[in-house]
């Protein structure tokens, strides 16, 4: 089977192809990179979360509580560019921030964790962003293709151990992608979950060891969709088909009326977050 060099997605096998045995694969350790090799600590120059810096961030965060998302992004770009980046899953909040960054600092590097399991509709947004804003969102891939990964584990791990699958195909990739930056933009809103309710506008991301800026922390879902509608911002067409929250295809289902908007994620498992925004 020939893998597309631009992607780690698995193409359908042709009739004369047989699936080769799994290559010898390194079993990944659960132990993430040490702090010293993570995020801003590995940047050149490194950004170290000293007490003085954390106090400064807390002060700035407080002052930015009444700022607009655009003002927050402008502050972040002034303070951290060119070591400021953004990860996006192309959700409505992420698309809103991309729209703002296109006006404020279109040169900001933006990336997506391409697990190999994303919906085609999600992947199509990369092209829509390019056409609308001229911004090329970079795909970051896990070490193993979907085919290699499922061969290693004797089948899709999302069916039996989604935590491990998310760790290997998202979190580990994100640790790698975060290395060398001082700060990144996050698309979380405080009203999305009790965990997210505690998020500062600006704070130190202990898990990934860099500054996390959340310009939409004080926005509501209505604010986000209001801007999308007003500015005709591209969004995932699955939102019009009963998917309020879109993740990987195997772990996302349509949500029924009256269900929580994240009820369609990892349905059947005691799991509501992939681990990107939890400490
Ligand atoms: S959302 Fe599902 S398919 Fe995607 S990485 Fe997590 S467990 Fe795997």
Residue 166 annotated as lining a ligand binding site: yes
Question: Is the CB of residue 166 below 6 angstroms from any atom belonging to ligand 1?
Answer: yes
What is the Cα–Cα distance from 115 to 253, expressed in whole angstroms?
Answer: 17
> What residues have CB less than 8 Å from 25, skipping those under 6 apart?
144, 148, 152
187 lines ligand 1 (CB under 6 A): no
Maximum distance among all Cα pairs of the chain, rounded to whole angstroms: 64
Q: Is 268 left (phi over 0), alpha (psi -120 to 50) or beta?
A: left
Q: Does 265 reside within a domain?
A: no
**β-bridge partners, 265:** 252
Give the pTM.
0.84
182-197 per-position pLDDT tens digit: 999 999 999 988 889 9
Specify if 88 maps to a domain. yes
How far away, in angstroms, is 266 Cα from ligand 1 center? 8
The predicted pLDDT at position 12 comes to 35
Does residue 108 have an active-site annotation?
Answer: no
User: What confidence tens digit (pLDDT) does each residue in 203-247 have?
Assistant: 999 999 999 999 999 999 999 999 999 999 999 999 999 898 899
Ligand-binding annotation for 248, yes or no, is yes
Q: Where are the extended beta strands (E) located within the chain? A: 84-87, 110-113, 138-140, 183-185, 202-205, 210-213
CATH of the domain at 81: 3.40.50.620
Evaluate: CB of 274 within 6 angstroms of ligand 1.
Answer: yes
Rounded Cα distance between 96 and 207, Å, is 25
Question: What is the three-class DSSP state of 183?
Answer: strand
Higher pLDDT, 54 or 35: 54
User: What does the pLDDT look like over 73-127, one tens digit per residue?
Assistant: 999 999 999 999 999 999 999 999 999 999 999 999 999 999 999 999 999 999 9
Decide if 273 is inside a domain.
Answer: no
Residue closest to 164 by CA, chosen among 178, 180, 144, 179: 144
Asked, for residue 151, whether it belongs to a domain, the answer is: yes
232 belongs to a structural domain: yes
For residue 135, cis peptide bond before it (omega within 30 degrees of 0): no
268 is in an annotated binding site: no
pLDDT of residue 3: 34
Establish how many alpha carbons lie within 13 A of residue 26's alpha carbon, considering only the half-sphere containing its beta carbon. Answer: 7
Q: How many domains does the chain have?
A: 1
Query: Is residue 42 within 8 Å of residue 180, measured between CB atoms?
Result: yes
**CB within 8 Å of 193: residues ≥ 6 apart:** 262, 272, 273
Ligand 1 contact, 207 CB (< 6 A): no
Q: Which neighbouring-strand residues pair with 202? A: 213
**Structure confidence at residue 25 as a pLDDT band (50, 70, 90):** very low
Q: What phi, psi does 202 have (nearest 5°)?
A: -130, 130
Query: Which domain does 187 fall in, by range?
Result: 35-240
- pLDDT number for residue 258: 75
Is residue 120 domain-resident? Answer: yes
Cα 145 to ligand 1 centre (Å): 13
């Amino acid at each position: 089977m020939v893998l597309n060099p631009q992607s780690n997605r698995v193409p359908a096998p042709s009739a004369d192809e047989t699936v080769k045995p799994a290559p010898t694969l390194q079993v990944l350790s659960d132990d993430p990179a040490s702090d010293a090799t993570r995020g801003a600590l590995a940047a050149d120059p490194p950004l170290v979360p000293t007490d003085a810096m954390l106090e400064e961030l807390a002060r700035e965060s407080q002052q930015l509580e009444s700022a607009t998302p655009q003002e927050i992004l402008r502050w972040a770009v002034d303070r951290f560019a060119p070591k400021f980046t953004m990860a996006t899953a192309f959700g409505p909040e992420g698309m809103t921030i991309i729209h703002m960054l296109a006006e404020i600092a279109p040169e900001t590097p933006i990336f997506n964790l391409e697990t190999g399991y994303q919906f085609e509709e999600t992947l199509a947004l990369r092209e829509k962003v390019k056409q609308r804003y001229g911004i090329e969102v970079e795909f970051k891939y896990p070490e193993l293709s979907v085919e290699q990964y499922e061969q290693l584990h004797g089948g899709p791990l999302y069916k039996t151990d989604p935590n491990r699958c998310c760790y290997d195909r998202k979190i580990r990739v994100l640790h790698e992608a975060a290395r060398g930056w001082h700060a990144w933009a996050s698309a979380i809103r405080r009203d999305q979950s009790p965990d997210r309710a505690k998020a500062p506008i600006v704070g130190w991301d202990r898990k990934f060891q860099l500054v996390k800026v959340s310009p939409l922390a004080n926005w509501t879902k209505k604010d986000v969709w209001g801007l999308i509608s007003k500015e005709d911002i591209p969004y995932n067409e699955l939102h019009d088909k009963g998917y309020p929250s879109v993740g990987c295809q195997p772990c996302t289902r349509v949500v029924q009326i009256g269900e929580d908007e994240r009820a369609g994620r990892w349905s059947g498992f005691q799991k509501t977050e992939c681990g990107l925004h939890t400490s």
